[in-house]
Amino acid sequence: MTWALKEAEKAYLAGEVPVGAVLVRDGSIIARGYNQVEMLKDATAHAEMICLTSGSVACDNWRLLDTTLYCTMEPCSMCLGAMLLARIKKLVWGAPDLRHGANGSWVDLLAQKHPTHTIEVVRGVEEAACADLMRRFFQERRNDRTIR
């Protein structure tokens, strides 16, 4: 999660919502991603999506079998759906996302057995650090009246 937090810090410094992700296979990071929605002007440019795409390139395969995705925030429905489709083995996330979280905070896409794939999930890893970065980001945005 330390490396996912470093990716989230990149997003923070770029003025993006500070979410970061890393994809690990056999104990090595094979892909990284951080939110780039504003920079790319693309609502799908979430940290997890960028990481999964990079992982597919690194593996030369869309099936990301035997990988673990570490993400600083609970994934949204788009990202969790992509993880199911990519066949990641394990998801480790930090802080819950009460507005968009698709692993129990808003909805739980994994509550029912998926017909083709199951993802092992570990929740709340480095939750305080992940949540603090998000809190600081939005507090600064609220205090800066020049940002709309």
pLDDT along the chain (148 residues), means of 10: 98 97 98 98 98 98 98 98 98 97 96 93 98 95 68
Residues in the chain: 148
pLDDT of residue 105: 96
pLDDT of residue 145: 63
pLDDT of residue 143: 83
Q: Which of 7, 16, 48, 126 is catalytic?
A: 48
Q: Output the pTM of the full model.
A: 0.93
Sheet with 67-73, strands from edge to edge, namely 28-34, 20-25, 67-73, 90-95, 120-122
Q: Is 9 a catalytic residue?
A: no
Distance, in Å, from the CA atom of 75 to the CA atom of 137, rounded to the nearest integer, reads 18
